[in-house]
Amino acid sequence: MHKYPNSTRTLWVLQGEATQLFEQLSQAICHYSGDWLTVTSHFELSSYLPNTLISDVIPPNQTKQLLGRQYRHAIFDATVGFNLDAFAMLVGTLVKGSILVLFLPKNLSTWHDQDSLRWNESQMPINVPNFVAHLMQTLTEFGLSIYPKISSKQVISSKISLSEVIIDDICDLDEQQATLKQLLNSTKPINVLVAKRGRGKSALAGLFSHYQRCIVTAPNKLALTTFFAFAKPDTPFFAPDELIAQSCITVADYLIIDEAAMIPLPMLEKLLKLAKTNNTRVLLTTTADGYEGTGQGFLLKLLSGKACQCFQLFSPIRWQAGDMLEQFSDRLLLNGLLTKGDNFDVSSSSIQYSKVQRNDADILRSIFYLLKVAHYQTTLVDLRRLFDAQNLTIWQATANNNQIAAALTVIEGNLPDSLITEVWQGTRRPKGNLVAQSLVAHAGEPQAAKLRSVRINRIAVISAYRRQNIARQLVQTIFEDAKAQNIDFLSVSFAYTPSNYQFWIACGFVLVHVSSHKQANSGSYSVMALRPLTDSGRNLTIKLKQKLQRNVYWIKDIIDLPFTEMIESKNISPLTQDLNAYDFDELNGFAHYHRPFEATYATLCRLVRYNQKHQQSRKPQPQQQLTLPVLSALIKSKNNQSLLISSYQLAGKNALMQTIKQEIKTWLAIQISNS
């Protein structure tokens, strides 16, 4: 493994206009040999850097390509927006003795952070006062000053010690070597290596390949730079989807999955199933804390009930223990586990439920931890949302001043009629209002976005206190607060599992919609449920419930959910399948606008049924006859689109949809002419 100078990494913070900062720093960095990787949205300012560094300038949204790589010295430009994911990735690549230069905007109090466009439900960037306060407090805690400008002479004189460090060729690898030995002695079919950045996970996995016949997969081959620096040279690489498609592992005793937490859960499940089928053991590596923020949730979701052994690395090798930059980054990113509150006795009478003050970083750290251990896809985007997202409310359950549960809610609805119409037509899908818009766009109910609602976005309880009705009481607290504000209904969207479903039903929610596709990350269908508070909310909930019950007659053939357990069986009936006014609206929306095929599927099935029934009952004039051949064939095939595309020699899905749209347009025109 690489050995670096035994010196802590250094952070310089400069504040001002990006152009001036690049110009000032270009003189100083010439005195420090290194990579000077630069992350900036001001790509045009690379001309201020020395010519040898221009190729090492990347935008924040492309920093995933840095995975598995190592650099010496870097610049992080946050004058436009502070992308925490990019910052965390960059920090993780820097070796011992590196300098990281952080650019901040000239006036933080009036700064509109462009990064907010990623996580705030708004079309324009917003002020981020809570994050700014947290950033400034963190800088103060570490004794870091912000310089408005800095000259070459000032930089060199203030940091001259960096050129005087003693090179230490000794790198303590005892922990890594001991862990490698334990891995080689493991008898479990699945082994998991967990550590923070810079601990040598990928290098250790590479060394492991010298002792076992291995193949390796990862979300991106570029992320395996460190792995291959240490691996057996002929270790084969396969992309995850390529490996799954092969359905066979014949060249290896071990499958190594690097950066496992970045791979969607359904794909990981398939990889583990593939390995088991081929009698191949598995080594997973994942990050406990970091930009993806999914390591702990990953372990909970993927490995539950599986025979596995976990190993951890604690000692850094890319930088020294106690590294200042790592500590600063951990504090800024609210990394780390809770040190208290995991085990204490509580009674239901001692638990308090309340809203959270979002300017308290310590409370947010506890909330963020709760979300990370409970949800597979909790990321640093969620952290930025916790600090400053508009329309967001954070709730907590506390006992003895310790957080034992948390929930996030978002205000939705009250949209203008013109926008709702465009959402229904499929021509607009603005940010935010996830459930409200989905019920308009996919369930065809404009009223869902007109009424005022509160969506429960996340809910989490510390594992030791689950099954004590704490989450249900937290939901009830949210319900009472919403009722006092004359909110029409509560909503929730969640990945279907029997336990998730039973929880929300027990909380008084009513199932009103199911998605037509499984989520890429969870591998489950997303379902939506409402709990009404007003008469308008109740009428909407009843209407959506009845509509879903009617549609289940058809969608049960293409959506793999236990509908007979979720929907009253008497309502899954052919008796309710005649075309009605709602169906004609849906047909017009699909044919003449952009209503999704999946959202209109049940109506299209009813159309085929109606058309066949009437074709059999009477003999229309030749010019009135329309058999809807392509649509009828598609419905008969249970929505096998690939089969229809091949049978009719169509160019693809878009051509298939256009063909069906034209059939329906013609059919509707005939209905009008006959009326």
Q: Domain ranges for the chain, please list them.
A: 10-164, 174-313, 348-574, 577-674
Q: What is the pLDDT of residue 170?
A: 43
**CB-based burial label for 426 (10 Å; 0-12, 13-18, 19+):** middle
| pLDDT tens, position by position, 329-354 | 999 998 865 444 445 555 666 899 99
Residue type at position 76? F
**Length of the chain, in residues:** 675
Amino acid at 604: L
Check residue 84 and give its pLDDT. 95
At 55, is the pLDDT very low, low, confident or very high (cuts 50, 70, 90)? low
Whether the predicted pLDDT of 156 surpasses 50 = no
Q: Is the pLDDT of residue 476 over 90?
A: yes
Domain 174-313 architecture: 3-Layer(aba) Sandwich (3.40)
Instruction: Convert the pLDDT of each residue in 628-644 to its tens digit.
Output: 999 999 999 999 999 99
- Indicate if 174-313 has the same CATH topology as 10-164: yes
In this structure, the number of other CB atoms found within 10 A of the CB of residue 433 comes to: 26
Gyration radius of the chain's alpha carbons = 29
> What architecture is domain 348-574?
3-Layer(aba) Sandwich (3.40)
pLDDT at residue 618 is higher than 90: no
The span from the CA of 202 to the CA of 284, in Å, is 10
Residue type, 304: S
More confident residue, 332 or 50: 332
What pLDDT does residue 535 have?
98
Share of the chain above pLDDT 70, in %: 88
**Can you give the pLDDT at residue 5?**
42
On whether the pTM is more than 0.85, the answer is yes
Sign of CA dihedral 622, 625, 630, 632: negative
pLDDT of residue 384: 95
List of residues 6+ apart from 151 with CB closer than 8 A: 24, 27, 28
3-state helix, strand, coil in the chain (%, to 5): 50, 15, 35
Helix axes 597-617, 653-674, angle to 10 degrees: 50
- The three state secondary structure string of 352-363 is EEEECCCCCHHH
Per the rule left: phi > 0, alpha: psi between -120 and 50, beta: everything else, 229 is: alpha
Q: What are phi and psi of 322, to 5 degrees?
A: 75, 20
What CATH number should be reported for the domain whose range is 577-674? 1.20.120.890
Q: Given a cut of 70, is residue 300 above it in pLDDT?
A: no
| Residue 637, token pair as written in the block | 């095939």
CATH code for residues 10-164 = 3.40.50.11040
- Alpha-carbon distance 431 to 510, whole Å? 25
State pLDDT tens for residues 8-27: 899 999 999 998 898 888 87
User: For residue 69, what pLDDT is reported?
Assistant: 84
